[in-house]
């Protein structure tokens, strides 16, 4: 797989929280489906990632071996855009996951209530893309929103979709 800094992904987990996120995502989904419950940013060709898990931190894509995943690349992603996106989110490194925001997503309020400035996983990806000049709105984004938008947009190439 040919990964590059600035590629982004969504993945399907198998925890109880993952399941609940997908149930809520399906309820609000525009296409009646919700395959993915987590999102992240790829930092390098070796599969280093930046994600909002129990805390926002550096992780490895290989942690998702055996999981359903979609990896995409924006057609305008370039080293300078990656750096601009990274500048927007790097200050969040080490911040604890904002669990309370999941309730806001459940009631479709996360787009409007974001005073803490701490994003859930999909909002972190959106914030990165916003910093890179590739997206406007990022508060309230869910992994399902991202997957649907990436599939429908002519600006993204699917690098890989399947079991990692």
Give me the domains of the chain, ranges plus CATH numbers.
8-163 (3.90.1720.10)
Whole-model pTM: value is 0.93
Q: Are 160 and 69 in contact (CB under 8 A)?
A: yes
For residue 28, the model assigns a pLDDT of 67
Task: Work out the average pLDDT over 48-67.
Answer: 97
Whole-number percent of the chain with pLDDT over 90: 70
Shortest CA distance to 35 belongs to which of 26, 27, 48, 43?
26
**Residues 137, 130, 113, CA angle at the centre, nearest 5°?**
40
**At residue 90, does pLDDT exceed 90?**
yes
**At residue 132, does pLDDT exceed 80?**
yes
Task: Work out the average pLDDT over 70-96.
Answer: 98
């Amino acid at each position: 797989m040919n990964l590059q800094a600035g590629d982004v992904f969504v993945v399907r987990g198998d925890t109880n929280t993952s399941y609940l996120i997908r149930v809520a995502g399906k309820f609000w989904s525009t296409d009646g489906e919700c395959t993915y419950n987590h999102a992240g940013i790829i930092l390098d060709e070796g599969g280093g990632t930046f994600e909002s898990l129990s805390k926002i931190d550096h992780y490895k894509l290989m942690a998702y071996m055996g999981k359903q995943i979609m990896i995409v690349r924006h057609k305008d992603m370039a080293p300078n855009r990656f750096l601009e996106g990274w500048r927007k989110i790097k200050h969040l490194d080490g911040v604890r996951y904002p669990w309370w925001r999941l309730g806001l997503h459940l009631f479709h309020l996360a787009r409007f209530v974001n005073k803490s400035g701490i994003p859930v996983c999909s909002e972190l990806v959106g914030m990165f893309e916003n910093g890179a000049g590739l997206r406007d709105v990022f508060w309230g984004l869910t992994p399902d929103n991202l997957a649907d938008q990436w599939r429908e947009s002519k600006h993204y190439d699917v690098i890989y979709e399947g079991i990692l």
